[in-house]
Amino acid sequence: MTQTPQRTAPIGVFDSGVGGLTVLHELLVGLPQEDFLYLGDSARFPYGDRSAPELRGFARENADILLARGVKLIVVACNSATSAAIDDLPLHVARSGHTVDVIGVVGPESNLAVARTRNGRVGVLATPATIASGAYERAVLAVDPLVRLTSVPCPRLARISQNGAPITEQDVELAREYCAPLREAGVDTVILGCTHYPFVGALLQRLLGPQVTLVTSGTAIVRRVGHALALRDLATPSEVEGRYSFLCTGDAAAFATIGSRFLQLPMGTVDHVALTQEAFA
């Protein structure tokens, strides 16, 4: 039986942890009348070192959790999950009997980066899983095949922000190592290909230089979500400020404490949700 979403239903957003709250923040600002339900899969963080089959499985279960709570649209606010599962996930949603659109972060970011580059040289900082998927290369070159793309895998950068600890000199050296290939390539635009990276955006900007434009998931995806809601006639009819709530697969208290810094708004209660045993395989 096909389940048609209601205009008053919330928009579902999921990520591997607190990083996707940078995307949620932009959605809350850009679409203040909408309700949102955010799922942080912190029990399985980080996603960046996982295989593509694992990520597809995680994405399916995360989507099922949100669909069971009646969301009208799903935003995959995780670059690694988007890269591995954005083609599979809409099919899974449809097979489960839902007419719910799925929007990932890679496409909107790539479009914005191509629009902003002045010299045709674009860089990507992302997790190893995202880089290995080739998703950004495909997305960027589909917009403009003449763009020169430099991709740098950053296996440890997401952990700097996820644990909430202060940035150390060792973290600075790590970030400097990741930025070096981009400086050598002369890029003028850099995609932050992980939703955790805006937390260290100021550091990355300092290392890359003021002439480099940073493109983040949050700023790129709000417009895409707005268009999807309008196309499906799913924008909420209310002009009242919307509500937002949170689910977490790991330590809910820790998620709330660290997450408030990413969201830059009150977190409120974070509810824990259990995962199936198979999801950890």
Q: Would you give the DSSP letter of residue 242?
A: P
Q: Would you give the DSSP letter of residue 256?
A: H
CA distances for 143 relative to 81, 139, 182, angstroms: 21, 7, 21
Architecture of domain 11-104+219-280: 3-Layer(aba) Sandwich (3.40)
Query: Tell me, what's the pLDDT at 219?
Result: 77
The pTM (predicted TM-score) of the whole model is 0.87
**Chain position carrying tokens 């670059």:** 79
Positions in the chain short of pLDDT 50:
277-281
Query: Tell me, what's the pLDDT at 281?
Result: 38
Residue 233 phi, psi (nearest 5): 55, 45
Tokens representing residue 258 in the block: 């660290």
List pLDDT tens digits, range 46-82.
898 899 999 999 999 999 999 999 999 999 999 899 9
Query: Tell me, what's the pLDDT at 280?
Result: 43
CA–CA separation, 168 and 161 (whole Å): 11
Which residue pairs from 1-5 have beta carbons closer than 8 angstroms and sit at least 24 positions apart in sequence?
1/97, 2/97, 2/98, 2/99, 3/97, 3/98, 3/99, 4/99, 5/70, 5/71, 5/72, 5/73, 5/98, 5/99, 5/100, 5/234
Query: Tell me, what's the pLDDT at 268?
Result: 86
List pLDDT tens digits, range 178-215.
999 999 999 999 999 988 888 889 999 999 999 999 99
- The domain locations on the chain are 11-104+219-280, 107-217
Which residues form the catalytic set? 78, 194
- List the Cα angle 174/187/131 in 5-degree steps: 60
| Domains 11-104+219-280 and 107-217 alike in fold | yes
* CATH fold for the domain made of 107-217: Rossmann fold (3.40.50)
CA–CA separation, 258 and 279 (whole Å): 24
Query: Tell me, what's the pLDDT at 233?
Result: 94
Query: Tell me, what's the pLDDT at 261?
Result: 80
Query: Tell me, what's the pLDDT at 161?
Result: 62
Query: Tell me, what's the pLDDT at 209?
Result: 96
